[in-house]
């Protein structure tokens, strides 16, 4: 504990000053912030967790958090943790679902300068409203010029303003290998949206994007740019779910390829919403639960370690999960009867609805000391007993009914 006077003296001396050039000197065009922010509102990636460590004594702005932080939640309940914006909303591509495509640009066209974008990011960061920047863009002119400007904004942040906070940069379809390498050295995470599970679906939505050349090949470039010193938060992608009539199984099959072959860290889903002024404005929007069910399937595969064959049980004959918990659907198929939590393996416990990795871990550890015979014990370990009780046998008894197993 020190006196306030000492703090004033130290701060006024300026020997620890990290603030860099003045970021408040020029006014901000709020209309631009609105237009270019709206351009990304359907992009769902919000994670800010990064393995990168910022040196404590180097005096730069912006510790990154290993766990990430949500600074607010949008009215739809989604985390708002990054200044998510387009560099420009002008775009030469004609993606039928996208309000920024050339065929549907109704609202005003806007673009930042790299300097302007860097200053706005820092103002929001210093207000503790965001963890960093999520920078995407329409492709105005050509992707080389756009990538160059986006990278210039990131370089200004990193080098001129000493900003070491989290940055997620979108790689534009068709971007060069050199730009991808440069991005990998500067940011925490990059992503390139596949949007659809295959070339044929992409063809239905856009005639200007080549799925294999502009997207898959670039994802391979990104995979090759990842090393222990670059891209600590890896590569991700996103799907616009249901815009091209694809099934959940088709999306899941693409997901596996993206994880296993391209080494993606995470994949995001955004249910298709028919936007006025786009060629698909008359198409029916997809329900929100569809993306939620896909997230659950992704979670089961990635975190719970479900195999491909098990996951197949979550899909109906037409390849859709439907509005039901995939874990429940799989459990009804693979579990022959109620499990005794005192003898079930961790893997078996993980297949019981209501038991997650943490509660399974706790069960396995508790039973070394005491026998689990009551629901209240399970509740204390974090098990969602209402979900799990049908599948568990406690002290020889279970709550399952014949109907429950039909």
Partner 1 sequence: MNSVPNNFLGALKRHADCTETILKKASLLDRDDIEFSTDAEIIGIRKMINSVLGENHMMKAFVRLKPQGGKVLYGYMRPEHDVWTLVGRFFAKRFPGTVIVLGNNTRSHVFLYGGDVLNHSRAGSLSKTLKELEEAMGKSTAENPDELWDTYYWSQYRREAKNTRYFKQNMRAKYVRETGITAETDSGGTKLEDFY
Site for partner 1 in 116-145 (CB under 8 A): 120, 123-124, 126-129
Q: Cβ(175)–Cβ(148) under 8 Å?
A: no
Is 108 among the residues that bind partner 1 (CB under 8 A)?
A: no
Q: Is residue 303 at the binding interface for partner 1, with CB under 8 A as the rule? A: no
Question: Which of 256, 365, 371, 405 touches partner 1 by CB under 8 A?
Answer: 365
Binding to partner 1 by residue 42, rule CB under 8 A? yes
Q: Is 375 in the site for partner 1 (CB under 8 A)?
A: no
Burial, 188: exposed, middle or buried (Cβ in 10 Å; 0-12, 13-18, 19+)?
A: buried
> Which one of 251-259, 304-312, 326-334, 377-385 is the stretch in contact with partner 1 (CB under 8 A)?
377-385
Instruction: Name residues contacting partner 1, limited to 313-352 (CB under 8 A).
Output: none
Q: Which two tokens stand for residue 194?
A: 């596949």
- The residues in 254-283 that bind partner 1, with binding defined as CB under 8 A, are 273
When asked if residue 369 is in the footprint of partner 1 (CB under 8 A), the reply is yes
Q: Which is nearer to partner 1, 4 or 343 (CB)?
A: 4
Q: Which stretch binds partner 1 (CB under 8 A): 61-69, 139-147, 149-157, 234-242?
A: 61-69
Interacting residue with partner 1 among 105, 362, 385, 398 (CB under 8 A): 362
Stretch that binds partner 1, among 11-19, 143-151, 312-320, 321-329 (CB under 8 A): 11-19
Query: From the list 352, 355, 381, 394, which residue makes contact with partner 1 (rule: CB under 8 A)?
Result: 381
Question: 193, 236, 377, 390: which one contacts partner 1 (CB under 8 A)?
Answer: 377
The separation between CA 124 and the C-alpha centre of its own chain, rounded to angstroms, equals 21
Q: Can you list the positions of beta strands (E) in 175-326?
A: 189-191, 235-241, 266-271
Least CB distance to partner 1 at residue 157 (A): 15
Joined tokens for residue 53: 């460590």
> Which class for 80: exposed (0-12), middle (13-18), buried (19 or more C-beta within 10 A)?
middle
The yes or no reply on residue 227 touching partner 1 (CB under 8 A) is no
106 binds partner 1 per the rule CB under 8 A: no
Which candidate, 205, 214, 204, 200, places its Cα nearest to that of 172? 214
59 near partner 1 (CB under 8 A):
yes
Give the residues across from 339 on adjacent strands: 392
Question: In this chain, which stretch among 230-238, 254-262, 321-329, 380-388 interacts with partner 1, using CB under 8 A?
Answer: 380-388
| Smaller CB separation from partner 1, 3 or 343 | 3
The CB-of-44 to partner 1 minimum distance in angstroms stands at: 10
- Considering only residues 165-204, where is the footprint of partner 1 by CB under 8 A? none
From candidates 263, 319, 322, 382, binder to partner 1 by CB under 8 A: 382
What does the alpha-carbon distance between residue 229 and residue 351 come to, in Å, rounded to a whole number?
Answer: 36
Expressed in percent and rounded to 5, the helix, strand and coil fractions of the chain are: 40, 10, 50
CA separation for the pair 318, 337 (Å, rounded)? 28
> Does residue 60 belong to the site contacting partner 1 (CB under 8 A)?
yes
Q: Which residue has the tokens 């199984």?
A: 249
Residues 6+ apart with CB under 8 A from 271: 241, 242, 285, 286, 287, 288, 290, 291
Choose the stretch contacting partner 1; rule: CB under 8 A; options: 3-11, 97-105, 201-209, 299-307: 3-11
The answer to whether 358 contacts partner 1 (rule: CB under 8 A) is yes
d(CA 66, CA 86): 26
**Count of residues making up the chain:** 406
Asked if 6 touches partner 1 (CB under 8 A), the answer is yes
Residue 309 binds partner 1 (CB under 8 A):
no
Q: Per rule CB under 8 A, is residue 28 in the interface with partner 1?
A: yes
Cβ atoms of 341 and 378 within 8 Å: the answer is yes
- Cα(377)–Cα(362) distance, rounded to whole angstroms? 11
SS (H, E, C) 131-159: CEEEEECCCCCCHHHHHHHHHHHHHHHHH
Nearer to partner 1 by Cβ, of 307 and 368: the residue is: 368
Min separation Cβ 73 and partner 1, Å? 4
Identity of the residue, 68 or 319, whose beta carbon is nearer to partner 1 in the bound complex: 68
DSSP class of residue 62 equals -
């Amino acid at each position: 504990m020190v006196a306030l006077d000492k703090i004033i003296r130290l701060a006024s001396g300026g020997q620890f000053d990290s603030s860099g050039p003045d970021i408040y000197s020029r006014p901000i065009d709020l209309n631009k912030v609105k237009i270019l922010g709206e351009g990304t509102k359907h992009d769902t990636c919000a994670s800010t967790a990064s393995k990168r460590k910022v040196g404590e004594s180097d005096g730069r702005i912006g510790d990154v958090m290993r766990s990430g932080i949500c600074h607010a939640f949008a009215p739809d309940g989604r985390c708002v943790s990054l200044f998510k914006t387009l560099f420009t909303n002008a775009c030469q591509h004609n993606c039928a679902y996208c309000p920024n495509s050339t065929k549907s640009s109704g609202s005003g066209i806007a673009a930042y300068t790299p300097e302007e974008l860097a200053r706005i990011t820092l103002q929001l960061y210093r207000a503790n409203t965001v963890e960093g920047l999520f920078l995407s863009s329409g492709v105005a002119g050509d992707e080389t010029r756009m990538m160059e400007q986006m990278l210039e904004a990131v370089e200004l942040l990193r080098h001129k303003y000493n900003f070491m906070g989290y940055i997620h940069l979108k790689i534009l379809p068709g971007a060069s290998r050199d730009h991808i390498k440069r991005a990998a050295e500067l940011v925490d995470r990059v992503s390139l949206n596949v949007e659809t599970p295959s070339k044929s679906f992409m063809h239905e939505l856009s005639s200007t994007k080549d799925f294999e050349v502009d997207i898959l090949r670039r994802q391979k470039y990104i995979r090759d740019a990842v090393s222990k010193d670059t891209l600590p938060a890896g590569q991700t992608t996103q799907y616009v779910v249901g815009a091209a009539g694809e099934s959940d199984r088709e999306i899941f099959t693409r997901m596996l390829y993206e994880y296993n072959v391209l080494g993606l860290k995470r994949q995001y889903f955004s249910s298709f919403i028919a936007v006025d002024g786009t060629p698909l404005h008359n198409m029916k929007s997809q329900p929100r639960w569809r993306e939620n069910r896909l997230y659950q399937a992704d979670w089961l595969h990635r975190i719970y370690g479900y195999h491909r064959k098990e996951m197949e049980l979550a899909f109906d004959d037409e390849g859709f999960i439907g509005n039901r918990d995939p874990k429940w659907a799989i459990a009804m198929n693979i579990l022959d009867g109620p499990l005794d939590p005192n003898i079930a393996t961790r893997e078996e416990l993980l297949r019981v609805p209501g038991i997650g990795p943490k509660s399974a871990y706790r069960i396995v550890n508790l039973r070394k000391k005491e026998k689990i015979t009551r629901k209240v014990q399970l509740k204390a370990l974090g098990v969602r007993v209402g979900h799990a009780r049908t599948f568990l046998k406690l002290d020889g008894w279970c709550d399952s009914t014949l109907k429950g197993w039909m």
